[in-house]
């Protein structure tokens, strides 16, 4: 029997909903501002995709944050500080989630197209189950409803660990991790897929990694837009992405390419080695 893609596992914020991943980003900036600590949007986007307590922990390890915290509180941020920040983070985010749950353009059409091909639709998220329940309920009003949604509570650890992808494979009854694709908008999404042994695809427009709202994109100079997209593409590939697409509309073509590779007996880890070899040979020629 020939092998082909059986399931696609999507991230939520920044991938299928919430263009630019603005809901969590704004809250991270706000909770640090309340403590009179300045954190930049670029710093916030670095750990994006992780569960939110871990995200705050990673921010508190940054030199800029530690230096400010030491100057303000005469100590570096500890676990109790991270707990307090997270306790403040949750209610603010909960109050905003419904406003950032609209599916990104092209997502619903692509999902419908995949389902017609018999492909199952899974999902993982850096949100808690309670957070994701709100987002999913709102997104369903627009017509976006994956077959399942998995958060880190169900498996013990979130990204970049692979366990949420494993749980998707179990619940969707997928015969081989190489028959699954993980699609996401952050480095931790790509790492999650790589660690799980599935195909990892990064999406640029709307992503946290690209870092622009839809309004900013609409008013951006075309040259600047192309340059920023290429910078995001490079970061995705450096993180190990097998494929990088400009928008969700390009996903079906990537799936066709992956199906061709599976027909040739090429699995994700082998494709990674092939790409690394091609880059090495290119660098030697140059």
Catalytic residues: 11, 52
Which residues sit opposite 244 in a β-bridge?
202
Distance CA(118)–CA(216), nearest Å, equals 36
β-pair partners for 103:
17
Q: How far apart are CA 25 and CA 42, in angstroms?
A: 10
Structure tokens belonging to residue 32: 């640090």
How many helices (H) and strands (E) would you count in the chain?
A: 13, 5
Residue 125 in contact with residue 12, Cβ under 8 Å? Answer: yes
Q: Which residues lie below 8 Å from residue 157, measured CB to CB, with a gap of 6+? A: 163
- Distance (Å, rounded) from C-alpha 11 to C-alpha 25? 16
- H-run or E-run covering 201: strand 199-203
Find where tokens 């498996």 sit: 155
> 187-196 vs 222-238: helix axis angle to the nearest 10?
30
Q: Which ranges in 97-186 belong to alpha helices (H)?
A: 107-116, 129-141, 163-172
């Amino acid at each position: 029997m020939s092998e082909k893609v059986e399931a696609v596992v999507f991230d939520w914020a920044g991938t299928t909903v919430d263009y630019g991943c603005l809901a969590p980003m704004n809250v991270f900036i706000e909770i640090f501002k309340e403590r009179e600590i300045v954190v930049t949007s670029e710093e916030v986007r670095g750990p994006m995709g992780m569960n939110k307590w871990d995200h705050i922990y990673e921010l508190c390890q940054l030199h800029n944050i530690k230096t400010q915290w030491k100057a303000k509180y005469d100590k570096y941020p500890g676990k109790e500080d991270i707990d307090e920040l997270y306790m403040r983070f949750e209610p603010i985010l909960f109050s905003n989630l419904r406003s950032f749950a609209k599916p990104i353009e092209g997502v619903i059409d692509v999902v419908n197209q995949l389902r017609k091909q018999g492909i199952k639709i899974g999902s993982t998220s850096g949100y808690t189950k309670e957070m994701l329940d709100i987002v999913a309920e709102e997104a369903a009003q627009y017509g976006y409803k994956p077959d399942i949604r998995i958060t880190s509570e169900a498996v013990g650890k979130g990204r970049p660990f692979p366990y949420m992808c494993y749980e998707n494979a179990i619940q969707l009854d997928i015969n081989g991790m190489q028959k699954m694709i993980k699609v996401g908008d952050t480095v931790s999404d790509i790492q999650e897929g790589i660690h799980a042994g599935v195909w990892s695809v990064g999406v640029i427009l709307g992503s946290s990694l690209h870092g622009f709202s839809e309004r900013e994109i609409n008013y951006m100079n075309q040259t600047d837009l192309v340059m920023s997209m290429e910078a995001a593409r490079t970061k995705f590939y450096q993180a190990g992405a097998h494929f990088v697409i400009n928008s969700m509309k390009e996903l079906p073509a990537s799936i066709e390419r992956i199906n061709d590779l599976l027909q040739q007996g090429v699995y994700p880890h082998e494709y990674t080695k092939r790409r690394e070899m091609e880059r090495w040979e290119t660098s030697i020629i140059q």
